[in-house]
Amino acid sequence: MTLKKENWNSLTKEESYIIESKGTEYPNSGEYNKFSQNGIFVCRRCEHPLYSSNSKFDSGCGWPSFDDDFENNVKRVKDADGRRVEIICGNCTGHLGHVFEGEFFTEKNTRHCVNSLSIKFISA
């Protein structure tokens, strides 16, 4: 269940850097990079549902990768540099990472490259 703004989860300094300041974790450092359990991934700040574990795949990029999101729950915006597309939580606008297309890792041809510190896993 998505939390209202007044009930958003407190963030650590590192989580705040990623979610609020659009930072990036070091590759291969996140807890969900090699993670594979059944459930859903939600926004760490507001717990808005973002991804099913069924859409997670190992792209070898060093960050958790997903080829699909829950419809309308992840928004795409132009990155400040104008070259990439940022993905943000559709509820609280917290930074998740970036989306890439045309790499042919999966049939959907989409890779959401997500910071582990931006998401939280909820077991099915």
Whether 1 shows a pLDDT value over 80: the answer reads no
Q: What is the CATH number of the domain that holds 11?
A: 2.170.150.20
CA nearest neighbour of 64 among 81, 51, 48: 51
- At which residue do the structure tokens 């609280």 appear? 92
- Say how far apart CA 115 and CA 96 lie, in whole Å: 6
Q: How far apart are CA 46 and CA 4, in angstroms?
A: 7
> What's the pLDDT at 7?
94
DSSP the chain: -PPPGGGPPP--HHHHHHHTT---PPTT-STTTT---SEEEEETTT--EEEEGGGEE--SSSS-EES---TTTEEEEE-TTSSSEEEEETTT--EEEEEEESS-SSTT-EEEEE-GGGEEEEE-
Q: Rounded CA gap, 24 and 15, in Å?
A: 10
Measure the CA angle with vertex 73, ends 5 and 2; round to 5°: 35
Joined tokens for residue 58: 């190992």
As a whole number, mean pLDDT of residues 40-49 equals 98
Joined together, the tokens standing for residue 28 give 């291969």
pLDDT digits (tens, 9 = 90+) for 75-113: 999 988 888 999 999 999 999 999 999 999 999 999 999
Domain tally, the chain: 1
**Residue of 43, 89, 92, 113 marked catalytic:** 113
Task: Give the residue numbers spanning the domain of 58.
Answer: 5-123
Active site residue 113: yes
pLDDT at 82: 86
